[in-house]
Structure 1
Amino acid sequence: MGNQLEAENEGDLGRAIRDSDFPFIRSGGFSTVRIPIRFSGHASSSAPYTINASFMARVEHVVNTASAAGLNVIIDMHHYDEISEDPQGNRARFVAMWRQIAQRFQNAPSSVWFELLNEPKDQLNNTNLLEIYTETLAAIRETNVSRYVIMGGQRTSDITSLATLELPNDPYVIPTFHYYLPLEFTHQGADWISPTPPMGTTWGSDEDYARLNNHLRLATNYYTRTGRVPFVGEYGAVQQIPTSERATYYGAVSNAFASIGIQSCAWSYVNTFQLRDDSTGRWITEITDLIATTTTR
């Protein structure tokens, strides 16, 4: 549910979430929604780091509405860049926010999962993530003993982060990575990254498929090393790319990872990396018809 609840204010980066979205998503054949949420933009900056009650109620409403539509829900803490810039200085606030979230959703169905932090980067890396993750997980376990909790690695959870990613010893922890490779294709014309990749790059050559196959081996190596099956928390290609080329990418990436037992969440829904055309109210079926899933081994 990209560019919605992770905006500073819902609606700043595209249209807000509607209750009707979730039955529509379920009827489209999707089973899970990942909801990026900027909790840090609605929490006090000093102890006890209280999350705004109105915002928390909005999040709860969205989660309950998605659950009622028969969807699995991932509550994802998104855009907490401060902890990547100063991990120790923001550690207590991070733990406190998750303790509040966990308390609020302790009676939610088991189909609601938590994702600790979207795309760790900069000063937050695989050398210090485990310590922070372990402390935060302990706070969650005070009220949610067996809820699944998703954790990603360094460098914005790039697939290469799996090589050194260590996670807490907990059977309900799920590793994740994101896949937007190569950025020259997936983010062409995206003015929020610098330098902006120029338009005109295509995807689908033998070299592109060989690179994707090499990345499958990285995921398989991680599973062999740890016994944990990761999932692709985000993948996609920006909407100004021609639809046929986007479709090739979405289909190839989702099918490739499904072939080795890895499921995926496509970015996004109606904003930026559109899978639904709001002007028509319909799925962009050239893309969505090619998205594959699997049963996790």
Structure 2
Amino acid sequence: MVSALKTLIVCALLSALAAAPAAAREMSAADQVKTMGRGVNVLGYDPLWKDPAQARFQLRHFKTIKDGGFDTVRVNLHAFEHMDADNRLDPAWLKTLDAVVQAALAQKLTVILDEHDFGPCGEDPAACKPRLTAFWRQIGERYRAAPDRVVFELLNEPNKGLDDAVWNGWVAELLPVVRATNPTRNVIVGPAFWNNIAHLDALQLPAQDRHLIATVHYYLPMEFTHQGASWNPSTPKTGVTWGTEAERQRMKTDFDGVQAWAKAHDRPILLGEFGAYDKGDMASRAAYTAAAARQAEARGWAWAYWQFDSDFIAYDIKKDAWVEPIHKALVPR
């Protein structure tokens, strides 16, 4: 009788386990990059954040992005200007962010929350650090239960005062802030000097944290990609073309160097920004964009083009249409 009862109990437990939903599987950094695939930067300089009624970008554009062949949006957040004197994020701004995240997730897009205050952080690291720490404490808590398609990026393009040594120290301090509420969420971290590939070797990531994705940005040669850009006076000349065999080989060699680092450190790669400014000729811009995207894909990286709207544009908001040469370069069809 006792033996029969034990058998019944064991059978009942096994049936219950079989009927229970499988536990959520945490996504590895490598699998996250595979899921991220092709992406585009969005919303960095849109009026949406201060006055949604004035927004250029509409939430419906997430469907446009998904239907356009993209898998990811990298949402550029200038959060510092939406903090009070105690570094608390404005509830109205957070409400807008929630709507953005929900709309993107509804289209089955991966959403990268990229803290994009690289300017103030590079100019005044001492003032930046408490704000950046407060940002991740609040965002970590707010999105602790978000699906794994929400990914965090600690800081876009650390630069100037955030040199290699200082930035590595910050990474070691910021990650525990995130991990306190998001122990297995994948987090994107890039090297100092504007996420420059030449500084990747100096980037120090905690070996025990396997939920990290390394990112680099690629705009070389700057005299081509930033020609005519008013904010970059070192590249005033226009009429610079791109596409020779030597130029293509340089890109391949540069990407090979990143890939060698990725294999040596067992870290997946996101090419977080690339593109060529609107002052260049369209044929060269499209050739450059296509070459970078295909080189990244050939190495198994995810990528995010700079950017959907504003400049370097892939989508013309006024015409409500893709800039076809750039779109075709990114998503061949």
* Same-fold status (TM-score > 0.5): yes
**Which of residues 234, 252, 262 is equivalent to 1:195?**
234
**Relative to total residues, which structure has the larger helix share, 1 or 2?**
2
Matches of 2:118 and 2:326, distance apart in 1:
31
C-alpha separation between the residues in 1 aligned to 2:170 and 2:101?
Answer: 26
- Tell me, what secondary structure is at the counterpart of 1:207? helix
Indicate the residue corresponding to 2:77 in structure 1. Answer: 37
CA distance in 1 between partners of 2:42 and 2:267 (Å): 30
Q: 2:287 aligns with which of 235, 248, 266?
A: 248
- Among 92, 95, 103, which residue is 1:54 paired with? 92
From the CA coordinates, give the structure whose radius of gyration is larger: 2
Distance 1:58 1:261 in 2: 33
- Contact persistence 2:141–2:181 (CA under 8 A): yes
TM-score (normalised: structure 1): 0.91
Whether 1:150 aligns to 2:195 is no
Query: C-alpha displacement at 1:223, in angstroms?
Result: 1.4
Q: RMSD in angstroms over aligned alpha carbons?
A: 2.1
CA contact (8 A) 2:57 2:317 kept: no
1:69 and 1:7 mapped to 2: Cα distance?
A: 21
Amino acid at match of 2:75: I
Contact 1:149 1:174 in 2 (8 A): yes
Give the distance between the partners of 1:111 and 1:3, measured in 2 at CA.
Answer: 16
The SS at the match of 2:144 is coil
1:107 aligns with 2:159: no
Query: Is the 8 Å Cα contact of residues 77 and 116 (structure 1) preserved in structure 2?
Result: yes
1:15 Cα deviation (Å)?
5.4
In 1, Cα distance between the equivalents of 2:101 and 2:57?
Answer: 11
Most deviating of 81-90 and 63-72: 81-90
Identify which of 110, 113, 118 aligns with 1:72: 110
Note the residue ranges of structure 2 that are not aligned, 5 or more in a row.
1-39
| C-alpha distance in 2 between matches for 1:243 and 1:136 | 41
Question: Residue 8 of structure 1: CA displacement?
Answer: 8.0
Structure 1's 32 and 3: CA in aligned 2 closer, same or farther, altered over 3 A? Answer: closer
Q: 1:173 to 1:134 in 2, by over 3 A?
A: same
CA distance in 2, matches of 1:31, 1:7: 21
Distance in 2 separating the partners of 1:248 and 1:80: 29
- Which gives a bigger RCO, structure 1 or 2 (Cα 8 Å, sep 6+)? 2
Identity %: 32
1:207 aligned to 2:239? no
Q: What residue in structure 1 maps to residue 101 of structure 2? A: 63
Matched, 1:271 2:273: no
Matched-pair contact (CA < 8 Å) for 1:163–1:218 = no
2:113 is paired with a residue whose SS is: strand
Q: Are the aligned partners of 1:179 and 1:234 in contact in 2 as well (CA < 8 Å)?
A: yes
Contact 2:195/2:217 (<8 A) preserved? yes
Aligned residue-pair number? 290
1:125 to 163, 171, 181: 163
**Runs (4+) off by over 6 Å:** none
Q: In the alignment, what sits opposite 1:17? A: 57
Gaps of 5+ in 1: none
